[in-house]
């Protein structure tokens, strides 16, 4: 199983029936593929839709039914549409139960940086800052390391997305939580040892006595 | 509301004007108005739009034609031309969190001086802004945003100017229709009064100044 699939499958297990969920672009988008059919989850697209469905079949796309990247999507029975003030009222107002976002860095206290690399990549924050500030639970879905460099760092060197810490980080190697505000190793990926995780993690990790294997 | 041709409507916009444009990645954008703005070469615009769309689409056309001097937006990462113009200092870009962007415009249209939001506290976005505590929680004071013109796209407009929108093309359109001195609208369909039921009118007719005639 590739890294992205491991991450997406593990994150999907965090969702509960009735949750209103906002998925960011990249790995987070894949999470929707692994939600069990009997779980009634509402997916929000921040351009104004609750109840996003799969990508329409060839020739069935409608120009006014799109995701936040402007790509065609479908709407499930029971979907609703609304303007951007409502959409971000839902996000900032604590009505979104879970948001899953990509990350560039997460630090030892759970702070996320995911919107710019000064001098290199300045695309704008879009809805990321509101999502991290307002969603009830924030889950970061990202590779553990990029080009051999840990993305879990003692302190973010990149500009923060929010001062509100995230709740959970799911990588291809581990699940990390922040009880008492300290990065804690909660699970390891199948076939990955605690030592391996520690070796590629730059931030100090609290390691409890029992660290179960990720169930995916 | 006055019904006008797209040429007449755009002729009212002076070079250097502040212009809000509805749409999200070019979805729900008044393409005919933007084509005409480009044809009449209205330059030095101060553009307020969620994003820069993509080259050739929506407000992307304004960057193709280098008509933008200032941009207030939330995300421009999918338009390489807008990125290049920003990095070359040809346009002055103010990047705003999307929830803050829409609330600033809503405030501008509703007679408010601004809003207090937790979004951006303690980040680069907070630089130069007042932080205000309410019940022990910190908020940023984000001031209202208005423009001289709002260019809005609706699904249905009736002969009076009542508007309704379709699916995800609604986005910023009804909010911007309240926040500009002059509101210019294109619609997919212009229909008799009564076709849009009162409960389904999203933007009431008195907010619309000009409706672009079809054909």
Task: With a cut of 90, say whether residue B214 has pLDDT above it.
Answer: no
ipTM field: 0.96
- Reported as a single tens digit per residue, the pLDDT across B173-189 is 999 999 999 999 999 99
Choose the closest CB to B166 out of A64, A125, A126.
A64
Residue A206 domain flag: no
Q: What is the mean pLDDT of residues A80-84?
A: 98
Split into its structural domains, chain A has a count of 1
Residue A212 lies in a domain: no
% of chain B surpassing 70 pLDDT: 100
Per the prediction, chain B carries an average pLDDT of 97
Judge whether A152 lies within some domain.
Answer: yes
pLDDT at B42 over 90: yes
Residue A151 has pLDDT above 90, yes or no: yes
Nearest residue in chain B measured CA to CA from A130:
B119
Given pLDDT bands bounded at 50, 70 and 90, which one contains residue B193?
very high
Which domain range does residue B156 map to? 2-96+145-212
Mark out chain A residues that contact chain B at CB-CB < 8 A.
45-49, 62-66, 68-70, 75, 81-85, 87-88, 91-92, 121-130, 133-134, 159-163
The three-point CA angle B181-B167-B22 to 5° equals 25
**CATH number (domain holding residue B24):** 3.40.1080.10
Is B102 inside any structural domain?
A: no
Count chain A–chain B contacts defined by CB atoms under 8 A.
141
Q: B149 and B182 in contact (C-beta within 8 Å)?
A: yes
B82/chain A closest Cα distance in angstroms: 10
CB spacing of B24 vs A47 below 8 angstroms: yes
Tens digits of residue pLDDT in B43-67: 999 999 999 999 999 999 999 999 9
Under the banding of pLDDT at 50, 70 and 90, the label for residue A120 is: confident
- The alpha-helical segments, DSSP class H, found in chain A are 3-12, 27-30, 84-92, 128-134, 194-199
Q: Closest to B170 (Cβ–Cβ): which among A83, A88, A123?
A: A83
Domain contains B13: yes
- State in Å, rounded, how far the first CA of chain A is from the last one: 10
Phi, psi of A156 (to 5 degrees): -65, 130
Q: Looking at CA atoms only, how far is residue B1 from chain A in angstroms?
A: 23
Q: What is the mean pLDDT of chain A?
A: 96
Q: Could you tell me if residue A211 is inside a domain?
A: no
Find chain B residues with C-beta within 8 A of A92's C-beta: 99, 117-119
Quick: pLDDT tens for A12-35: 999 999 999 999 988 999 999 999
The per-residue pLDDT for A119 is 85
Chain A residues within an 8 Å CB radius of B28: 64
Among residues A63, A30, A24, which one has the least CA distance to residue A46? A24
- Closest by Cβ to B118, choosing from A83, A124, A133: A133
Burial category of A155 from C-beta neighbours within 10 Å (exposed 0-12, middle 13-18, buried 19 and up): exposed
Given a contact cutoff of 8 angstroms between Cβ atoms, the answer to whether A32 and A43 are in contact is yes
The residues of A that are catalytic are 46
**What is the pLDDT at residue A25?**
87
- To the nearest whole angstrom, how far is the Cα of A167 from the nearest Cα of chain B? 17
pLDDT (0 to 100) of residue B140: 98
Q: Is residue A213 part of a domain?
A: no
| CATH number of A98's domain | 3.40.1080.10
CB contacts of A47 in chain B (<8 Å) are 24-25, 27, 168, 171
B/e letters for B19-31, b = 16+ CB within 10 Å, e = fewer, are: bbbbbbbbbbbbe
Q: Enumerate the residues of chain B whose CB falls inside 8 A of the CB of residue A44.
A: none
**Confidence at A121, pLDDT banded by 50, 70, 90:** confident
Query: Quick check: is A37 in a domain?
Result: yes
pLDDT above 80 (res B215): no
Give residue A198's pLDDT. Answer: 97
Question: Could you say which of B123, B169, B170 has the minimum Cβ distance to residue A159?
Answer: B123
Do A65 and B168 make contact, defined as CB atoms within 8 angstroms? yes
User: Do the Cβ atoms of A120 and A148 come closer than 8 Å?
Assistant: no
Residue A215 lies in a domain: no
Establish if A216 belongs to a structural domain: no
B25 touches chain A (CB under 8 A): yes
| Inside any domain, residue B136 | no
What total number of domains does chain B contain? 1
- pLDDT (tens digit, 9 = 90+) per residue, B98-156? 999 999 999 999 999 999 999 999 999 999 999 999 999 999 999 999 999 999 999 99
Domain span holding position A168: 3-199
């Amino acid at each position: 199983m590739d890294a992205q699939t491991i991450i997406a499958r593990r994150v999907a297990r965090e969702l509960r029936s009735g949750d209103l969920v906002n998925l960011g672009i990249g790995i987070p988008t894949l999470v929707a593929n692994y939600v069990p059919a009997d779980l009634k989850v509402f997916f929000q697209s921040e351009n104004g839709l609750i109840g996003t469905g799969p990508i329409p079949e060839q020739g069935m796309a409608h120009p006014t039914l799109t995701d936040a990247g402007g790509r065609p999507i479908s709407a499930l029975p029971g979907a609703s549409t609304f303007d951007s003030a409502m959409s971000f009222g839902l996000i900032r107002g604590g009505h979104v139960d879970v948001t899953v976002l990509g990350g560039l860095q997460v630090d030892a206290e759970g702070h996320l940086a995911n919107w710019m690399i000064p001098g290199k990549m300045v695309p704008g924050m879009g809805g990321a800052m509101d999502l991290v500030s307002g969603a009830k639970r924030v889950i970061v879905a990202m590779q553990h390391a990029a080009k051999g460099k840990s993305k879990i760092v003692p302190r973010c060197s990149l500009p923060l997305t929010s001062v509100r810490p995230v709740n959970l980080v799911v990588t291809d190697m581990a699940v990390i939580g922040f009880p008492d505000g300290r990065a804690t190793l909660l699970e390891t990926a199948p076939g990955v040892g605690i030592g391996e995780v520690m070796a590629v993690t730059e931030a100090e990790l609290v390691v409890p006595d029992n660290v179960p294997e990720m169930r995916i | 509301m006055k019904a006008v041709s797209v040429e007449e409507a755009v002729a009212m916009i002076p070079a250097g004007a502040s212009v809000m444009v509805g749409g999200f990645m070019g979805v729900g954008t008044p393409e005919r108005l933007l084509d005409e703005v480009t044809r009449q070469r209205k330059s030095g615009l101060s553009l307020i739009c969620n994003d820069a769309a993509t080259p050739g689409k929506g407000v992307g056309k304004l960057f193709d034609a280098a008509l933008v001097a200032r941009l207030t937006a939330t995300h421009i990462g999918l338009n390489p031309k807008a990125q290049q113009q920003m990095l070359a200092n040809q346009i002055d870009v103010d990047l705003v969190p999307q929830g803050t962007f829409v609330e600033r415009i809503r405030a501008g249209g509703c007679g408010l001086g601004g809003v207090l939001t937790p979004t951006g506290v303690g980040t680069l976005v907070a630089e130069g802004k007042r932080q205000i505590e309410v019940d022990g929680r910190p908020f940023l004071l984000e001031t209202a945003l208005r423009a001289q013109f709002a260019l809005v796209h609706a699904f249905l407009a009736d002969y009076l100017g009542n508007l309704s929108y379709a699916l995800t093309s609604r986005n910023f359109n009804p909010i911007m229709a309240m926040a500009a001195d002059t509101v210019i609208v294109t619609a997919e369909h212009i229909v008799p009064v009564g076709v849009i039921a009162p409960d389904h009118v999203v933007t009431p007719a008195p907010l619309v100044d000009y409706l672009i005639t079809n054909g």
